[in-house]
Structures are given as C-alpha cells and as structure tokens.
Amino acid sequence: MLFRQMRRSTRQFTTHTIAILLGVIFTFAFLKVSPSQAEPAPTYNNPPQQIVAQKQSPAAIAASNSSFVTNAVNRVGPAVVRIDTERTVTRRVPEPFMDDPFFRRFFGDSFPQQIPQRQVRGLGSGVIFDQSGLVLTNAHVVDKADRVKVRLKDGRTFDGQVKGVDEVTDLAVVNINARNLPIAPLGNSSQVQVGDWAIAVGNPLGFDNTVTLGIVSTLKRPSSQVGISDKRLDFIQTDAAINPGNSGGPLVNGRGEVIGINTAIRADAMGIGFAIPINKAKDIASQLQRNGKVAHTYLGIQMVTLTPELAKQNNSDPNSSVMLPEVNGVLVMRVIPNSPAVNSGIRRGDVIMQIDGKSIKTAEQLQKLVENTRVGQTLQLKLQRGSQTQQISIRTGELKNASMN
C-alpha cells in the first residue's frame, strides 16, 4: 500500500517537473523570436546618420498651417472697404409729348427734356492703399455714380470722391477724408506663380467681410479670351469664389499681401474668377492720382489672330466673301471711322504681319505693343493686302472709347 502511494507521488512529481520545464523552454523561445514586444525602442544620444525623418503628409502640413489664412486676413482685412453707390437714371420725354400743343401750352418752354426715372443702387468692394485715404476699386463699381459711400470694417462711414476712372483697365481711385486708416500691404504680382494660395476678400452679394480661399489657376489670361473684348488686361485667374459685390476687393496671397484686384467672373462657369494684377493696378492708380485719367494709345481697328490653317479653312468655303492670304498675322476685321487707321489707309481684310520690323502673330501681341507706345508715335506697319505686301506709316491716337483698339 505504501509502495503504491510512493509510486503515485513520484509520477505526479515527474509530471509537474516536466510541465514546468516545458513552460520555461517555450517562454524563452517566444522571447527570442519576438523581442520588439518585450523591449523598448532604442534611444540615441547621437542618432545614426542613416536614420531619415519621414515627410509629413499633406493633411499634416495643412493642419500645421491652418492659421495662415487667418493671419493673412487679419493683416489685410481692416483695409478692405464696402462701397455703396447711387445714381439717378433718367429718360428722355417721348417726342409726341414734346410736340403736343396742350403740353406746350401748359408747361411752356420750361417743359423738361428729361425726367427722373429711378434711383439705382450699386454695391462693390475696395481696398485702402495709401494713408491719405486713397481707395482702389473697379471702374464699373463707381461708374456714373452720383453718390459714393465708403464703409470701413470698423464701422466708420465716409463720403467718397472719385479721383479718376479708367474704363480700359476697369480701375478707379476713390478718396475719403479720414485719419488713422488701415493700409493694405501691396505685393508683387510678377512673383505670383500658378498654384499659389489665393484669398478673395470683399462683400459678395452684400455679405460683408467675406473670405474665400483657392489657388492661382493660371496667369496672364488675356481679356479677349475671358470674353471682355473692351478691356486691355492680362488677368490672374483663380478658383477662389468671386461673386457680385467682390468687384474691386483684393486678391491676397498667403502672406496677406494684395496681388490683384478682383474684377470679373464667368457667368457660364463655376470656380473661375479673374483679378487685375496689382503691379498693373499700381501703375494705373498712380496715373489716376496725377491726371484723373490714363492716356491709352490706339490704332482704330477691330482684329483677330490669323493663321495659315484658318485662312485655308476660310478660302475653301464656297460661301466665303473674301479670300485671305495664308500667313501668320493679325486680320483687320473693321476699321473705326475717324481713327488713325483710316487716316493711314488701312483697310478691312488687311493682314498686319510686322510693326517696326517686329513680327506680329497674334492680336494680343499687337495690342500689347500698341499699348506700350506713346500717343502720337509713328509706327511702321508691314501688311499683306491680297497678294501684295504693303508698307504703311501710322500715327497712334488716344483711345476715347474702350471698345476700340
């Protein structure tokens, strides 16, 4: 009996001993295979040179820079103003009333030629750019306004005096008599690049102090491509939302510097707005301060770009009324009456190929060249008229109507 108990105790001891040994073996084997779960990551007083920091994700970068818009708006926002305008629209008295003896007998010679029709109110934006109270805005914001009110972000309101308007570039300068004015920092639009941040600040649809964010979509977008043929501009294009009421307000970069003056949108597109580069705006504003206007040179033609391919397409059309020379140049579509072009002998259908020996291939190129000449300067034109080449001298004139070139 005792022997059986001893055998049972020995067997239990042996079993327990084997189980303990196996547990120890498995534990060490596991620790050997998976040290990362048991040991802390190594630390270095002098990190090895081969360790490279991981780049931040775009989301992490955006999060770390989330306040740059706030900083930019805080810098320029106080100088952004709301411009309210009023003008009286009148209409002429119909001719039958003027000739009616009854009305003549009743009113006599004091019968008014025009009668007031209604008051038209407008809304736009602007930006203070000089301590003397000068505000830069769009010409169409203050066009023909009888009364201009300028309201600052801090609530102060002033009567505005229009110092000068330039319809060709759609820019105007308004002056307010005030002190301690916030001034917007003006940037350098020649340094703007596609993809830069673009912040539009203004009063769209009457919602004061509104900010929208986007990027610069493209640069040097000609006004002719935008569909504004009566302007001479190369726009900054942006997808920052620009709505009616934003006109005249600033387009700002990520540093809070004004890089453009918001001026136009495409009614048939979303996310496409246009701003006048601030370098151009500064030059025009300087001339408006001095003279109240800007002298623009013109030839007096309406024109389109011509290529050999377009000429061939026209010439192969049996219904075409004119045969065009298959060359690169600028086709004269119309000659404005009483213009330098008429006086020099330019005709409809002529193709301008050179000015002062410089090759001309696009209408935009010709327009820029003419814009950079002085009023009264003589230019030498080489043009194709039918199968003949002509040399013509033309003396530039001063543009009086923005629809001319």
247: annotated active-site residue: yes
d(CA 391, CA 378): 13
- The dihedral formed by the CA atoms of 362, 363, 365 and 366, expressed in degrees to the nearest 10: 120
Q: Give φ, ψ of 116 to 5 degrees.
A: -60, 140
Q: Return the structure tokens found at 246.
A: 């934003």
CB atoms within 10 A of CB 195: 10
CB atoms within 10 A of CB 123: 19
d(CA 149, CA 133): 13
356: annotated active-site residue: no
140: annotated active-site residue: yes
Catalytic residue among 84, 125, 140, 234: 140
Alpha-helical segments (H) within 222-346: 223-226, 278-291, 308-315, 340-344
Q: Return the structure tokens found at 7.
A: 């055998």
Catalytic residue among 170, 223, 234, 350: 170
Report the first-to-last Cα separation within the chain, whole angstroms: 128
d(CA 159, CA 147): 8
* Per-residue b or e along 48-75, where b marks 16 or more CB atoms closer than 10 Å to that residue's CB: eeeeeeeeeeeeeeeeeeeebbeebbeb
H or E segment and range at residue 73: helix 68-76
**What secondary structure does DSSP assign to 83-138, as a single string?**
EEEEEEEEEEPPHHHHH-HHHHHHHGGG--SEEEEEEEEEEEEEEEEETTTEEEE-
Catalytic residue among 217, 224, 247, 339: 247
Catalytic site residues? 140, 170, 247
